[in-house]
Amino acid sequence: MKAIIQRVSAAKVTVGEELISSIGKGLCVLIGISNEDNANDVDWMAKKLLSIRLFEDPAGKRWNHSVVDQQLELLCISQFTLYHRMKGNRPDFSKAMQGPDAQNLYNTLLQKLGSLYQVDRIKDGKFGAMMQVHIQNDGPVTLEIESPPQSQQELDKLKRANEHKAKSKKGDQQGQTKKDECLENGQ
C-alpha cells in the first residue's frame, strides 16, 4: 500500500460541482492499493499516517507533532494510478488492485483510521469517481511512503486468521439457520 502525503492548510474534493469532503489544516493523503496488499498493509498504513510527525509543536520545533497530537484532520483519496508502470509512453495499472477488492481494502483503511483516532476527523473522496482535488499545500511538504514487503510467515499467519474468521462466520450462519428452523417449527 502506497501513500502520497501532503501537509495542507486546507483541502477539498469535488465531483463535478458537488463538494464531497473538505478539511482545514491536516493531511491530504492519496492512497494506492496494489494486488498484493492485505490487512497487514492496512494496519501498517493507518498507524503510520496517524503517527508521522510533519507539524511543529507549540515551541516551534519542526517535525515534532502528528495529526493526532494536534487533533487535525485527514482527507484520504483512493488513487489507483500510484501503482503504475510505464509501457513506453503509456501507463499500465495492472499492479493496482481492481474494483470491489480495492474498495473493500480502502474502506477497511478508513475504518481502521477512525477506530485508532476519531471517525469525524477522517474524510474521504468518492471511490472510483473522477474527482477534483483542491489543496493548499503547507510548506510545501509532500512525502511518499509504502508498506513494507511481508514475510511468508506473516502471510501464512494472515491466511490462518482469515480461515478461522470464515469458519466462525459459517458456524454462526449455520447456528442462525437452525434457530430460524426451530422458530418456524414452533420449538
Eight-class DSSP state of 11: E
Tell which residue, 24, 48, 45, has the closest CA to residue 123. 24
Q: How far is CA 57 from CA 7, 70, 99, 154, in A?
A: 15, 8, 40, 36
Q: Which of the residues 6, 70, 71, 80 is marked catalytic?
A: 80
Is 79 in the active site? Answer: yes
Active-site pick, 71, 81, 98, 132: 81
Tell me, yes or no, if 80 is annotated catalytic.
yes
Alpha-carbon dihedral sign for residues 96, 100, 106, 112? negative
Beta bridge partners of 15: 18
- Of the residues 6, 70, 71, 79, only one is catalytic, namely 79
Q: Which residues are catalytic?
A: 79-81
